[in-house]
């Protein structure tokens, strides 16, 4: 593949709801541009971007794929780096990585399905990252697809930015072409996306006039001269219209709506022309980071002549295609076998060979210039989010903003000898997917795996089995309960043991009461008078209490909020020892604890749920059913509400799936642990009984 200058590059991310047709659109663009000679299909499992076994098996995208295509445009050849992203919400991290390096977006909308949750999320991402965008309406070949109805919904949802650049031409209820609103000409498809000029149908005239007027208003608003000409009834040249529209699209003031059919490969030639004409090259934007040598903010245009700096936005660790670090060059030019400095890790590596990836195919290139996306193989230290640069000019860029995972399950290897293979496989999967995380919960002796949703975790299991030949199983995680007491008691503990020679003797009298500090296991004090217990045994008594607090008498959970006071006791000048007093304190603790009205405490989380207004009632009702307490609600952007509540952590298991079901997938949530509270009596009883049976079975 040829090397391209910054001004001839377009980095375009494909966004949209799952099943809207992004991968089909990417395949059509590959075919039309000549990147592939045979058109693949999702159903056949032979598309360029969905090459992973899991994607082929399931029929949808799981990872972001980079698909570089070359297109001969009006002003010479350009390179378009298509970033085909997953549409299902469990793989949002892949989308966020792609968006962080894109300079523009195509939001794919299925005309028949209309505006879906994924459409709204795609729009919100574009707004957040200030990405210019085109809405490409696919599935126009479906005779039940109403473009006019969809256009009204788009205008209602997203406002006056929406500008139809195309209107459909149908004959005998079949999609046969489109009206180009910008050029005021009809286009009839001949073969695939090729077209010939045709008459504009009479039925399009009314809508065409409205659409054209809106475009001309947008053109007029780009300068005072144009506005004066427009108001005086003057016309604009094609070149003036094109330039003005490019400015508007680049500034996201206008969002063109175009159309086609992925199945029939219609409309994609026009889309390629629009990408070249209206989307900005990388040098339209800026690289913003930190100059590590001075600590000052660094801002630069994408410039191939400057010192090298690049950000690693994705890592691929695949046993079949190898390990690649996907990078976007921000400044300078990267060449093979270059000594590069990982600014994030403060270490040097060598770049080796350079590639551009087209799906699973790695095409070797001689260099990668500023603004372009490429790949470096076999970097040992470099990971997603790192910045690479020259050691004498260290620049650090912000890491991609990745969603935090809140869905978690307990996991373990099915075969006991597979623990090492499991750990190694999970580590490689976590390198690829930053929304995947594992935590060792030593307290409950369980390993936890975190992800965005259940589907993602299910695919992790499948990948581990297929890629790394290790079988794991998921189960419901244990909840980290705590034990405490509710009243004050006094208790004695005497440890006496005679076995020939020196014996063991320790005797204590203690009081136990709530300390009202549930963050601390225990507070230890002593009020012994007259040397009934020598001072040198006080630490042993405290050690006995400390060890008891690790595993409480009620259900073997850690103890918190205890105040233990050593009141009195007795000792033997020969037989007493630290061990004896530690054991005596243990006996006193166990006796006193069970008489002091022991209770189980459950962890409480602060929950924030963001949903559209219409779902607030359902969500709050569900929170109440989960024993939660709604604390308040406030408005956020886009007509949404943030619901704040306290809720037991145990009730959040499965919440992700239920919230999506309630809100059609648009609701989001986050939570964090805040404190412990006494669990209801029925929960305590159930947990103590369950725990007792587990302890008997030595689990």
φ, ψ (nearest 5 deg) of residue 89: -65, -25
Measured CA to CA, the distance from residue 489 to residue 352 in angstroms comes to 71
At 596-611, the pLDDT tens digits run 999 999 999 999 999 9
Torsion angle (degrees, nearest 10) of CA 308, 312, 315, 316 = -40
Q: Say yes or no to pLDDT of 480 above 50.
A: yes
**569 Rama sector, left if φ>0, alpha if ψ -120 to 50, beta otherwise:** left
State the alpha helices, DSSP H only, in 574-677: 578-595, 616-625, 655-663
| Residue that wins the pLDDT comparison between 181 and 238 | 181
Nearest by Cα to 116 from 108, 126, 106, 105: 108
Give the DSSP H/E element, type plus range, for residue 128. Answer: helix 117-129
| Residue that wins the pLDDT comparison between 505 and 319 | 505
Measured CA to CA, the distance from residue 227 to residue 223 in angstroms comes to 6
- Name which of 128-132, 296-300, 637-641 the model is least confident about: 637-641
At 12-63, the pLDDT tens digits run 999 999 989 999 999 999 999 988 888 888 888 889 988 888 888 898 899 9
Task: Retrieve residue 695's tokens.
Answer: 């302890």
Name 389's Cβ contacts closer than 8 Å, sequence gap at least 6.
307, 308, 309, 310, 340, 341, 343, 395
- Domains in the chain (CATH in brackets) are 6-200+253-282 (3.40.50.300), 285-397 (2.40.30.10), 407-475 (3.30.70.870), 482-596 (3.30.230.10), 600-683 (3.30.70.240)
**pLDDT band (50, 70, 90) for residue 576:** confident
- Report yes or no: 174 and 143 within 8 Å, Cβ to Cβ: yes
Q: Say yes or no to pLDDT of 500 above 70.
A: no
φ, ψ (nearest 5 deg) of residue 662: -70, -35
At 460-476, the pLDDT tens digits run 999 999 989 999 999 99
Average the pLDDT over 203-226 and give the result: 86
Name 636's Cβ contacts closer than 8 Å, sequence gap at least 6.
610, 642
- The dihedral built from the CA positions of residue 425, 426, 427 and 432, taken in this order, carries a sign that is positive
Q: Please tell me whether residue 514 adopts helix, strand or coil conformation.
A: strand
pLDDT at 694: 63
At 504-546, the pLDDT tens digits run 899 999 999 999 899 899 999 999 887 888 899 999 999 999 9
Burial 349-363 (b: 16+ CB within 10 A, else e): bebeebbbbbbbebe
Q: Say yes or no to pLDDT of 204 above 60.
A: yes
pTM (whole model) above 0.95: no
- Report yes or no: 182 and 241 within 8 Å, Cβ to Cβ: yes
Measured CA to CA, the distance from residue 404 to residue 452 in angstroms comes to 7
- Report yes or no: 312 and 326 within 8 Å, Cβ to Cβ: yes
Name 183's Cβ contacts closer than 8 Å, sequence gap at least 6.
238
pLDDT at 497: 85
> How far separated are the first and last CA of the chain, in Å rounded?
59
Task: Retrieve residue 177's tokens.
Answer: 């072409």
pLDDT at 699: 47
Measured CA to CA, the distance from residue 568 to residue 588 in angstroms comes to 12
Task: Retrieve residue 491's tokens.
Answer: 């208790």
Q: Please tell me whether residue 613 adopts helix, strand or coil conformation.
A: helix
Measured CA to CA, the distance from residue 172 to residue 53 in angstroms comes to 41
Task: Retrieve residue 513's tokens.
Answer: 């009461």
pLDDT at 423: 93
Give the DSSP H/E element, type plus range, for residue 267. Answer: none
Tell me what the pLDDT averaged over the chain comes to: 91
- Report yes or no: 143 and 262 within 8 Å, Cβ to Cβ: no
Measured at the CA of 284, the angle between CA 283 and CA 288, to 5 degrees, comes to 75
- Report yes or no: 362 and 324 within 8 Å, Cβ to Cβ: yes
């Amino acid at each position: 593949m040829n090397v391209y200058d910054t001004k001839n590059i377009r980095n375009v991310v494909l966004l949209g709801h799952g099943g809207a047709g992004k991968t089909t659109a990417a395949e059509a663009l590959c075919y039309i541009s000549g990147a592939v000679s045979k058109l693949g299909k999702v159903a056949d499992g032979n598309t360029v971007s969905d090459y992973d076994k899991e994607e082929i098996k399931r029929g949808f995208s799981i990872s972001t794929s980079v698909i570089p295509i070359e297109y001969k445009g009006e002003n010479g050849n350009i390179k378009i780096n298509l970033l085909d992203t997953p549409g299902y919400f469990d793989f949002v991290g892949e989308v966020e990585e792609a968006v962080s390096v894109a300079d523009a977006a195509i939001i794919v909308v299925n005309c028949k399905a209309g505006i879906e949750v994924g459409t709204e999320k795609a729009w919100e991402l574009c707004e957040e990252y200030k990405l210019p965008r085109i809405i490409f309406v696919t599935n126009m070949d479906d005779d039940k697809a109403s473009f006019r109805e969809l256009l009204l919904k788009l205008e209602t949802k997203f406002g006056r930015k929406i500008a139809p650049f195309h209107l459909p031409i149908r004959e005998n209820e079949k999609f046969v072409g489109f009206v180009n609103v910008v050029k005021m000409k009809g286009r009839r498809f001949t073969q695939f996306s090729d077209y010939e000029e045709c008459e504009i149908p009479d039925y399009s005239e009314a809508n065409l006039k409205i659409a054209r007027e809106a475009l001309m208003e947008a053109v007029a608003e780009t300068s005072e001269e144009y506005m004066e000409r427009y108001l005086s009834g003057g016309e604009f040249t094609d070149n003036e219209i094109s330039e003005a529209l490019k400015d508007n699209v680049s500034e996201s003031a206008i969002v063109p709506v175009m159309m086609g059919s992925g199945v029939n490969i219609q409309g994609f030639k026009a889309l390629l022309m629009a990408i070249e004409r209206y989307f900005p090259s990388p040098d339209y934007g800026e690289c913003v980071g930190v100059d590590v040598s001075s600590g000052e903010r660094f801002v630069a245009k994408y410039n191939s002549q400057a010192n090298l700096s690049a950000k690693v936005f994705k890592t691929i660790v695949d046993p079949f295609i190898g390990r690649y670090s996907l990078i976007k060059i921000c400044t300078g030019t990267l060449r093979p076998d270059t000594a590069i400095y990982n600014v994030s890790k403060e270490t040097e590596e060598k770049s080796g060979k350079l590639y551009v990836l087209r799906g699973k195919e790695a095409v070797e290139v001689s260099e990668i210039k500023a603004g372009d996306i490429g790949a470096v193989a076999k970097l040992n230290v470099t990971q997603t989010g790192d910045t690479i640069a020259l050691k004498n000019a260290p620049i650090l860029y912000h890491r991609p903003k990745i969603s935090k995972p809140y869905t978690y399950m307990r996991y373990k290897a099915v075969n006991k000898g597979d623990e090492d293979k499991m750990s190694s496989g999970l580590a490689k999967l976590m390198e690829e997917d930053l929304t995947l995380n594992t935590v060792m919960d030593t307290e409950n002796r369980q390993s936890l795996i975190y992800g965005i949703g259940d589907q993602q975790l299910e695919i992790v299991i499948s990948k581990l089995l297929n890629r790394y030949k290790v079988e794991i199983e998921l189960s419901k995680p244990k909840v980290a309960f705590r034990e405490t007491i509710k009243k004050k008691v006094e208790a004695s503990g005497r440890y006496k043991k005679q076995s020939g020679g020196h014996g063991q003797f320790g005797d204590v009298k203690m009081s136990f009461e709530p300390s009202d500090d549930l963050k601390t296991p225990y507070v230890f004090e002593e009020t012994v008078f007259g040397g009934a217990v020598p001072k040198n045994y006080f630490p042993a008594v405290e050690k006995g209490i400390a060890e008891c607090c690790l595993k409480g008498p009620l259900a073997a959970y850690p103890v918190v909020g205890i105040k233990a006071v050593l009141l009195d006791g007795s000792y033997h000048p020969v037989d007493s020892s630290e061990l004896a007093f530690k054991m005596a304190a243990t006996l006193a603790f166990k006796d006193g604890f069970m008489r002091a009205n022991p209770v189980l405490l459950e962890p409480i989380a602060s929950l924030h749920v963001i949903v559209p207004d219409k779902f607030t009632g359902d969500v709050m009702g569900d929170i109440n059913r989960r024993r939660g307490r709604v604390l308040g609600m406030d408005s956020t952007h886009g007509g949404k509400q943030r619901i704040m509540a306290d809720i037991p952590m145990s009730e959040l298991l499965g919440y992700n799936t239920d919230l999506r079901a309630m809100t059609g997938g648009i609701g989001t949530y986050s939570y964090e642990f805040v404190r412990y509270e006494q669990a209801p009596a029925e929960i305590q009883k159930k947990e103590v009984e369950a725990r007792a049976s587990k302890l008997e079975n030595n689990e």
